[in-house]
Chains A and B, each alone.
Chain A
């Protein structure tokens, strides 16, 4: 189990009073405090780490969020924000003395402005919910984490989430215009708005990716884009991971930027095919999904050029999706990939490092070697175009030994990423999972400077204090 900050004994002692206070602020169904009902909130997408919280609150308005924050601040109670709880780095892992503040009831689209191409939505709207709301008018919201069906925009902002199509459209940070936030003291602030480049410091940039440590996001203004004329995906199958990795590098080196360039190895291909029936090449050791968009002529031109590049890497097959349904199935398989691995292994740890694409073949080889030496299988699924790796380490959570091996293997992979000039996290955030590895990437001086930024927003370290930074002596005591 991961080390947690020492629970505040005074907070634990006045638990009943805190719960009663919260009940004054919210409708009855919005406060959960019975032990059995708290249990499902003890974890998120990284279920290996668990901690039952003190209470859970489910506010419905920004004002209710503000009231809860003001109350918790006054009482010195820690708060852990939670969206859909799909974090893979334990970002929403509670603490024993903390109130989990869930934003899933704030799920309304507030305004859509097609003329200025933006939408204002509450933090609990799902990522795909935004696209669904504007799709009829041929618009979409670009960042598309594989979890987009479930994950919420407030979570996306706080993790600066990316996705398959971010190669072309950028990550969450590149698609935001404004936020409504509630500070740790319970004040409501508006940041940015329906225009580009706000005056003053770039607060928006600072808050994006702040992992619930600086403020609670209650509303988000996002940029929406016109849907492309059309898009087509190609499946390229290869005889080894390294060859596929080399092919990715050649495509990027040629200057072509497909809208998406995704990598899957053999175990991943088989698991996903069983779920999506997309016609993935089951004889391949590795496969790339390469998507292009634009007019039919543009697509044809790009696909022909990409085909030529692939051909130099002795592909087993190169196949372009024939129908819209097949394209959908191809993406359904890719987006369901992590879950689909549940078909071949009871548990997985999903790593998330970033490396220069030129290092892909070497890094994949090293991961293969480590897999053999740890005796744990890996499925490799990742956003290859921007060098964002997601090796899934398969293990058995019912065996403590297997879990510890998986943790050590994961840490080795992340160290390798930093070693070859990459970084610890691509898009899943640091959370608790990579907290203790931050020292591999940053010096103590750099970490302290970052901690001071957090302290400026949250002097008492009440917000999500167990994440991102190695625990300090103050939090341990």
Chain B
């Protein structure tokens, strides 16, 4: 597609990269059809091609972002379904990330929008704050009915309260920095991204990961200094906090690579995985030593299921006769193009695996999206649950805490893929399945 940047504009490396992406797009429109917001809203402006065009126009003009453009960019889930569809190889992710930063820098949001974003940006990446906030939300839940029925702010607050779980598991000591030694002879050594929000919402995921890996002879390091991957800030266009979070992880993991050595950085929350795999790109214009280190980290970042396929997984007990509906998280299927590994592992574990119709469509979780865009998010949730129910499965497995929280609260129990794999290879039965199977 034709672009209209001046030579001066193109000297900005951010614009130069955006120009590259825009030039790759041939405006064929294929991506519109698989975009969740276009499917729901039926407007070119809420399609990938329309957003690409809006962003192109905004960047070319050099104007500050305006409400008209922000509205449609905000509605984008960053699910990256458009990237799976695009025959041209357009890197929409890099374009929209750039646009979000541009918006954050040039656009003044209404006060309540700014406040909510600031709070989310502050709380979610910090487990202690998050725990406190969720306890508060639990206390506030009964009062949700008092909120006005319409208006963006009340809707968002209601969404926040809905997402707060009824009870919180205690924090797990496994998530603190340490070396989890392998059982038996050591076959490998990996770093685990313990994560932020996930350690509060569902510590069982990391517990299952550590148990399974150590049992398979893998030493699992929770590196000192590593924390939130930066994705939450990154997707809100908050460039500096995102880079700071990433830098801390890069430093921590590089120290491990140069020390005890690492075969992989393992991520079991695919939303974070997509970002860690993109560190190399995010740091491309930083000082060379940081760019190199970031690229080294990205090169060995792997989803837990990718790693299990690589080292080999065998169950040690017969699976109960359960059908698992596999929910493909967007960050895993579109962001990282990991599609077969989770399903084939679940089958290897002995489960029957069902795949819902419209598997390419997002469940509406999308990081903070379900709190910022509750209306679209809840429509996507209902659509996803409908498709999952139609498979006739007994439970849902997913590889991303965001999706798990979004799909929870329905009649179908939701667990992380790794919990099922650990269970069939000697681990305990996931608690949420207590009503399905009496051990």
Contacts and interface: CB of A to CB of B under 8 A. Distances in A.
Contacts, number: 117
A339 B88 contact: yes
Interface stretch (A35-43, A198-206, A358-366, A443-451): A35-43
A44 B26 CA distance: 10
Given A149-B85, A346-B23, A346-B24, A36 B42 contact: no
Given A36-B66, A48-B2, A150-B33, A338 B42 contact: no
Contact of B26 (A102, A275, A338): A338
A342 interface: yes
Nearest to B3: A398
Contact of B88 (A48, A104, A342): A342
A343 B89 contact: yes
Interface string B255-285: 0000000000000000000000000000000
A47 B23 CA distance: 12
B69 A149 contact: no
A326 interface: no
Contacts of B23: 346, 398
A107 B40 CA distance: 10
B397 to A, nearest CB: 23
A104 B2 contact: no
B431 interface: no
Contacts of A341: 26, 88
Instruction: State the majority secondary structure of interface residues on B.
Output: helix
Nearest to A343: B89
Q: How large is the interface on A (under 10, 10 to 19, 20 to 34, 35 or more residues)?
A: 35 or more
Contact of B53 (A34, A40, A105, A336): A40
Interface in A163-210: none
A323 interface: no
Contacts of A336: 30, 87
Contacts of B27: 43-45, 47
A36 B2 contact: no
Contact of A40 (B26, B28, B44, B86): B44
Given A45-B28, A397-B1, A397-B2, A337 B87 contact: yes
Contacts of A128: 33
A348 interface: yes
Nearest to B33: A150
Contacts of A107: 39, 42
A85 interface: yes
A147 B30 contact: yes
Interface in A107-164: 107, 124, 126, 128, 147, 149-151
Contacts of B43: 29, 32, 58, 102, 104-105
Interface in A190-248: none
Interface string B402-430: 00000000000000000000000000000
Contacts of A265: none
A342 B42 CA distance: 26
B163 interface: no
A346 B69 CA distance: 25
Contacts of A105: 42-43
Interface string B19-45: 000011111111111100011011111
Contact of B87 (A44, A47, A338, A347): A338
B433 interface: no
B57 interface: yes
B32 A398 contact: no
A465 interface: no
A39 B54 contact: yes
B45 A37 contact: yes
Contacts of A45: 27-29
B359 interface: no
A104 B87 CA distance: 22
Interface of B: 1-3, 23-34, 38-39, 41-45, 49-50, 53-54, 57, 66, 68-69, 72, 85-90
When A and B form their complex, which 5 residue pairs have the shortest distance between CB atoms, in order from nearest?
Answer: A339-B87, A342-B88, A336-B87, A397-B2, A105-B42
25 contacts: A36-B54, A36-B57, A36-B68, A37-B45, A40-B45, A43-B27, A47-B27, A85-B29, A86-B30, A104-B38, A104-B44, A107-B42, A126-B33, A128-B33, A147-B30, A150-B29, A274-B89, A339-B88, A340-B87, A342-B26, A342-B28, A343-B24, A346-B24, A347-B26, A398-B23
Given A84-B29, A84-B32, 6 more contacts: A39-B54, A40-B50, A40-B53, A44-B29, A340-B87, A397-B2
